[in-house]
Chain A
Amino acid sequence: MTPVQEIAEIFAVQKVGEYYQFTVVAPGVASSFVPGQFVAIAVGGEQSSMLLRRAFALYGATPTGDYAGTIQFVVAEHGPGTEWLVRRRAGEHLDVVGPLGTPFRLPRRTVPAVLVGGGYGTAPLVPLARQLIESGSDIEFIVGAATASRLFGELAARRVAGTVTVTTDDGSAGHRGRVSDVLPAAIKRINAHVVYACGPMAMLRAVGDVALAHAVQAQVAVEESMACGVGVCMTCVLPVRGEDGQSRFVRACIDGPVFDAAQVRWDDVGTLPPDLVGADAMGA
């Protein structure tokens, strides 16, 4: 799973709701991708005044066959970097680094699993769903968003999982409400042993709470802002409880983006908890 840096030709850009789905030719990334991993993409061209890469969860990779060596990822336009990116067209090239990060861990034996995607956070769950089903797991798929146009991957999820539960905050599609509202029933329907989720922090936290209440493990992929994506800059940290019981700031890019929800100290994200390892040295 060693990451590579590739100059990747764009094969296709498709508008999907409010998102842009990219397919690019990046054989080095495609050959070792595992669901939950991401790519970091340079924006603005060689003389760009935007120095930092943008990170996107991988939606899929095709190492062999008709589209050999392609990868897919999904972009939401929300700043100058992504504005530049979504204006790229087939035939242009992107500077891509990947695959990066700690992927979702598959259970050792086949167990029922619920997958929960918020907005374009559904993207990394689709290839995961495919893997789980191939290994014989029962799955439930929940996709949610604030409104219908911000849903992503509903059709792909339906194709993989058979059925999908949809929620929107405003009721413009599926159930009115949050993904965490429908999660308890989904867990019970298949007697799930694990929940996989990707989406905004608040959603991941809510999913983690529901999973904990049902004594089910939750693996969640966080979206933290990153500068390098490869583990050298230390900007994408969040407070996480370690196996030794001590909490540390750990890097979302290397130690994550997938974390055990019960280990993340959601209340303390964005703060410096005094019991964190090394917090006592900050006053010095």
Chain B
Amino acid sequence: MADMTTKLGSFTLPNPVLTASGCAASGKELQQFFDVASLGAVVTKSIMLRPRSGRPTPRMAETPSGMLNSIGLQGPGIDAFLEHDLPWLAEQGARTVVSIAGGHVDDYVALARRLYGNPAVSMIEVNISCPNVENRGQVFACDPAASGRVIGAVRRAADPAVPVFAKLSPDVTDITLIARVCADNGADGFSLINTLLGMAIDTDTLAPALGGVTGGLSGPAIRPIALRCVWQVRETLPHLPILGMGGIRTGLDALQFVLAGAAAVSVGTAVFGDPSAPVRVLAELERALDERGFAAVADAVGFAHRSVAEPVKENA
């Protein structure tokens, strides 16, 4: 049995499979299907300062091997999160990665301060890349300077004991450029990737299928893009840990991300089709590592980057 322990910066996880932000709410609903404490961690839906209604319906359109969503970060706000959701997660014994989102640098700073010193927070994922914000196409993560400002401000405001990960968008010319600026501003690691901006048109109504017109594309359709992003950022910044995500549905999908350089993975859209997908992916990943002779998942992280001159058999 492979040692599944992994690390995201200073945060040690018993295993490398997490939920993905926006695909598990705050864990409570999924607890009906499996013990959320058995995962590496629960990544919450992005928390904002104030309650937020989200966008009008329809908010979802199924696409080949994927789905588009224009939910628009519906949520109760940080007060309700700290009062109800976070204590509930702590009671279950779950480790929690809190995703935070905002419209201005000040919002992110205020959120980081509210989480300061809270023992139930294991890590902060800074969502600077949600396409469902008012100013579409101008998300922070598409602008190197804006990304750096947000990440730098959160890193300074947040509890120094808690790693701060930047969640990046693949909708950029060169993701390594954004990653580098975030690293220069103190990012402890990266969550790769957020959804891609997409669209569908309803051929019966002859109008956009989503209430928000455009939306975020997720699911296996984006997996090769996500994997490429993980590969590129690992190559550029090999010392910084990556939480990989994008269309992971099986243990072998997860293994691809690990081999590309992800120290842990998030299972997102797959949960909508299979509420117990995260624990299934974990079991499958463990088996896949065993079958390939890895004594520990840590040994497999970035393994595919080894030169072809070093055959896998000799190292496994």
Contact = CB atoms under 8 A, between A and B. Distances in A.
A224 B67 contact: no
Given A230-B29, A270-B211, A238 B57 contact: yes
A52 B277 CA distance: 13
B293 interface: no
Contact of A237 (B33, B57, B64, B65): B57
B304 interface: no
Interface string A214-245: 00000000001101101111111110000000
Interface in A181-215: none
Contacts of B59: 234-235, 237
Nearest to B62: A52
Interface string B33-69: 1000000000001001011111111111010111101
Interface stretch (A11-19, A144-152, A274-282): A274-282
A22 interface: no
A228 B272 contact: yes
A276 B50 CA distance: 13
Contacts of B235: none
Contacts of A224: 57
A278 B52 contact: yes
B296 interface: no
A52 B67 contact: yes
A278 B60 contact: no
Contacts of A227: 60, 62, 67, 69, 272
Interface string B252-292: 00000000000000000111111110000000000000000
Contacts of A232: 23-25, 29-30, 271-272, 275
B200 to A, nearest CB: 13
B74 A278 contact: yes
Most chain B beta-carbon neighbours within 10 Å: one of A224, A254, A284: A284
A235 B66 contact: no
B74 A249 contact: yes
Contacts of A231: 25, 29
Contacts, number: 128
In order of increasing CB-CB distance, the 8 nearest A-B pairs are: A278-B53, A235-B60, A278-B51, A231-B29, A228-B272, A284-B103, A281-B52, A278-B52
Given A234-B59, A234-B71, A278 B134 contact: no
Contacts of A271: 56
Nearest to B60: A235
Contacts of A5: 33, 274-276
A144 to B, nearest CB: 23
B64 A49 contact: yes
A282 B53 contact: yes
Interface string A253-284: 01000000000000001111000111111111
A278 B55 CA distance: 10
12 contacts: A5-B275, A5-B276, A42-B273, A227-B272, A230-B33, A232-B29, A232-B275, A233-B22, A249-B74, A281-B48, A282-B54, A284-B134
Contacts of A230: 29-30, 32-33, 275
Interface in B191-236: 211, 219-220
A272 B269 CA distance: 25
A50 B62 contact: yes
Given A228-B275, A271-B56, A284-B103, A235 B62 contact: no
Contacts of B66: 51
Interface of B: 22-25, 29-30, 32-33, 45, 48, 50-60, 62, 64-67, 69, 71-72, 74-75, 77, 103-104, 107, 134, 211, 219-220, 269-276
Contacts of A270: 56-58, 211
A178 interface: no
A233 B60 contact: yes
Nearest to A79: B62
Contact of B74 (A3, A234, A280, A284): A234
Contacts of A280: 50
A56 to B, nearest CB: 16
A237 B67 contact: no
A249 B66 CA distance: 24
Given A237-B54, A237-B57, A51 B271 contact: no
A241 to B, nearest CB: 14
A84 B226 CA distance: 30
B272 A249 contact: no
A97 interface: yes
Contacts of A50: 62
Nearest to A272: B56
Contacts of B69: 227, 233, 235
Nearest to B30: A232
Contacts of B275: 5, 97, 228, 230, 232
B36 to A, nearest CB: 12
A282 B55 CA distance: 8
Contacts of A282: 52-55, 72, 134
B198 to A, nearest CB: 14
A236 B69 CA distance: 11
B272 A53 contact: yes
Interface in A1-51: 2-3, 5, 42, 49-51
A252 to B, nearest CB: 10
A51 B220 contact: yes
Contacts of B270: 51
B184 to A, nearest CB: 28
